[in-house]
Chains A and B, each alone.
Chain A
Amino acid sequence: MVWKYLVVDFEKCTGCRVCEIACSLAHKKGCNPYRSSITVIKWEKEGLFVPMVCQQCETALCEEVCPTGAMFRNNETGAMVIDQEKCIGCRMCITACPFGGPSMDIKDRKINKCDLCGGDPTCVKFCEPKALEYILLTKMTQLKKRAGAKKLAKALEMIIVE
């Protein structure tokens, strides 16, 4: 199965937090950032905004620590998803994850976690500055190199960049 990856370019993030509401509305039918699987961490004085979301790790610590096997890989999308029937809400996945991927829902006390919306992420649809993108691995690996090369070429005034 060829998976796509939810990639965050935090330098493009304008801090609008539409992703948080899009996620909560798509999954929980309400508009509430505390029920979202993506959160924008903001340092307003510095103008730094970092959207934080599950990285769908290759070696998923949340899966390794889960006592009931509730956390498992969806082979279609590559996302780590939760079988809510098996989940006992122990929150060890939250403890194990280095990035705050999973969180506990403020209302129903279930574990929320990005499931890539089954392969069509809603947050990506709403991100106008394209800080969030859903792309193939083949494109993803070249992104940073290409962005860096562009900066160099622009500095040398060898290409016209908008």
Chain B
Amino acid sequence: MYGWTGKILRVDLTQGKVEKQSTPIEIAHNFLGGEGFGIKFLYDEVPPGTHPFDPKMVFVVGIGPLTGTLAPSCGRLEVISKSPMTNILGDSNAGGFFAPEVKWAGYDSIVIMGKSPKPVFLLIEDEEVTLKDASHLWGKEDKFEVEERLKSDVGEEFQVMDIGIAAERVVAYSAVFTNGVRAAGMTGIGSVLGSKNFKAIVVRGTRGVNLAVPEKFLEEAERCHQKIQTSPAWKIFSSGGTLGVLQDLYEGMGILPVKNLQDGWLPESDFEPISGATWMKKFKVKDLACFGCPAHCGHYVKVKDGPYTGLAREGIEYYLHTAFTNNLGVSDPSFGIKCTQVCDELGLDGPNTGHLLAFAAELYQKGIITLEDTEGVDLSWGNQEGFLKMIKKVALREGFGDILADGFDQAAKKIGKGADRCNLTIMGNPAGEDLRYRIGAALNHLTSTRGADHLKGMPIAEVVEGLIPELDKEIAPKVFGIPTMHPESEEGKEKMVIWYENLCAVIDSIGLCKFTSEFMLGLNFGLTLDDMGKLLTYATGVEYDGKKLSIIGERIHRLERAYNAREGVGRDQFKLPWRYREEEIPSGPKKGAVMNQEIMDRLLDVYFTKRGVDPKTAIPTRKGLEEVGLSYVADDLEKNGILKK
């Protein structure tokens, strides 16, 4: 095989055995890798209703056919399992340098199942794969110390994927990390590894990737690297990253998360200290990149004043900053860096933790919880000390932290007293974006197969090209077949969401990064599915083009929808959080904005129909599944009583 390695690692933790399986060619060609493999294995191998922490649950480490090659930005890691927070598909994606090393060691995927009687880690040196004792690494509150220990034992050139103490204690916001600081955290499936007593994968790969047509691949890779740099968004994105772009953009648009998204804007004097521009000037030292990436949207930062002086590290990006500053009423711009450091030490997902604190702080503000409930931890807006204490309590499941530790919906239920009005989840996953203004973004957060999230296909063009009339007029009909992409326009928005979702599913399956694709860099400026098709063709020797890839994206999405349906998701769960439906944005440029659930329902009806799903039940139809070669899934859904015969 070319592109693919032809081998999948199967780790049975109950038996303590590792097996090498040949990568099934049909699955490779039709599901690509990464997320595609992940949902295929999850659907096929885990019985419906299995608890995320049951030994029968699988955890898939997803690698793509383009991972570790010269394709731009081909270092991303995709992890797939079932989320303890949502009880539906749990998947997440992170950068760094771990995925290419697994590919060079010779594996298209690592499937972890069972449960180890004692803590273990997996050591991979090309063909040599062994489970090793990790008892001396377990129960440590500083994940960085564990990583240093591991690397000093095996060698600096090894790459590490690991979990922290939060995952060991199966906290629902636990991430899986690469390079210590790159977190695959959304949906909290680090906890699945924790439940399996599985601490880390440590890998070195020297076998490289074989390509079908190396010379043509080199030419195509060079063209793609160059193409990315011609994007108009290139200059600010490659030097500012998401923080340099989104923080100030959202404030300007009036959809900045403020105090658990109770508001969408800050007066200038309050915003200036925590603006993206201020942050860059104060902290940024240099650009950092993930593997193979010319966009280097990462930063190396140094904190030179304030209570966290001396902190120097990689990071942070928009969601971390916004979740720990404006969304918590904090005015110290270094607080996001500090909280990220603490979350990385404990193994928590940063943005989820920030949103959890905002949720708790709003409960505290409204008197739904008191100092007595929090064991004396003051969760007033802006109280950095209180937030830092609570982060630790959550990670270690201490006191009130334990009540918060199982998920937003779970916490809201336990607390009661109107807590659910402060809860911003869809199917249990928190919506970190203000959804009261952008119709496409709101729809995408509802249709996301892992619950509320922007990275499954938020139509960014809505607020970029969609707000520039000359571009909108030209692009909207040509690319999407709709009159306008404007965020407040309803017509045909489902087409935009479907287009973006299929794009994202492909990218997360072949090993590339959304941020150098059309998703982030602008329509036809970042890599398109056609560009990716060319790279794949020369890498694998199998013909791919944009159209074929779009169908595969459709197939992957429909399998994910089927999985969620089989886990019991019904149409009634496609509802916006209370705040976005009922509370208007109180101030700023979007004062008065609120999202109409009726618009969402209309769009969902059309969306589901186009996706081959019954709009009344949100269950895939037989026809919809057979259209994408998934008739066995229709049979399975019938057998499980989900689909009526």
Contacts and interface: CB of A to CB of B under 8 A. Distances in A.
Interface string B300-325: 10000000000011100000000000
Nearest to A45: B313
B286 interface: yes
Interface stretch (A11-19, A55-63, A95-103, A136-144): A11-19
A32 B208 contact: yes
A125 B287 CA distance: 19
B571 to A, nearest CB: 45
Nearest to B222: A125
Contact of B214 (A18, A25, A47): A25
B206 A34 contact: yes
A14 B206 contact: no
B559 interface: no
B225 interface: yes
B214 A29 contact: yes
B291 A31 contact: no
Nearest to B126: A106
B69 interface: yes
Interface residues of A, number: 29
User: For chain B, which range describes its interface: under 10, 10 to 19, 20 to 34, or 35 or more residues?
Assistant: 35 or more
Contact of B70 (A31, A106, A107): A31
A72 interface: no
A118 interface: no
B312 to A, nearest CB: 7
20 contacts: A16-B292, A18-B225, A18-B294, A21-B69, A22-B70, A26-B218, A30-B208, A30-B211, A31-B69, A31-B208, A31-B209, A32-B206, A32-B208, A35-B208, A44-B179, A44-B314, A47-B314, A106-B206, A126-B70, A128-B295
A129 interface: yes
Interface of A: 11, 14-18, 21-22, 24-26, 29-35, 44-47, 106-107, 122, 125-126, 128-129
Given A26-B218, A128-B225, A32 B209 contact: yes
B70 A30 contact: no
Nearest to A126: B225
B149 to A, nearest CB: 14
B139 to A, nearest CB: 23
A32 B499 CA distance: 34
A121 B221 CA distance: 16
A30 B214 contact: yes
A46 B311 CA distance: 11
Contacts of B288: 14-15, 47
Contacts of A47: 285-286, 288, 300, 312-314
A115 B296 CA distance: 28
B286 A14 contact: yes
Nearest to A44: B179
A46 B221 CA distance: 30
A26 B70 CA distance: 10
B99 to A, nearest CB: 13
Contact of A34 (B208, B215, B238, B291): B208
B293 interface: yes
Contacts of B229: 128
B180 A30 contact: no
Contacts of A45: 313
Interface of B: 68-70, 97, 104, 179-180, 206-211, 214-215, 217-218, 221-222, 225, 229, 238, 285-296, 298, 300, 312-314
A16 B296 contact: yes
B214 A14 contact: no
Which are the 5 A-B pairs with shortest beta-carbon distances? A32-B208, A47-B300, A16-B289, A128-B294, A14-B289
A155 to B, nearest CB: 15
A90 to B, nearest CB: 22
Contacts of B287: 14, 129
Contact of A32 (B104, B222, B295, B314): B104
A160 to B, nearest CB: 15
Contact of B294 (A16, A24, A32): A16
B580 to A, nearest CB: 38
Q: Which of A44, A46, A125, A128 has the most CB of B within 10 A?
A: A128
B540 to A, nearest CB: 13
A44 B148 CA distance: 12
Contacts of B295: 128
A104 B457 CA distance: 45
A106 B207 CA distance: 8
Nearest to B144: A45
A35 B285 CA distance: 32
B180 A14 contact: no
A106 B179 CA distance: 25
A44 B95 CA distance: 14
B203 to A, nearest CB: 13
Nearest to A26: B218
A35 B294 CA distance: 21
B217 A44 contact: no
A107 B207 CA distance: 8
A17 B291 contact: yes
A32 B207 contact: yes
Nearest to A43: B156
A129 B295 CA distance: 9
A33 B207 CA distance: 9
Given A35-B208, A125-B222, A21 B70 contact: yes
Contacts of B215: 29
A11 B286 contact: yes
Contacts of B218: 22, 25-26, 122
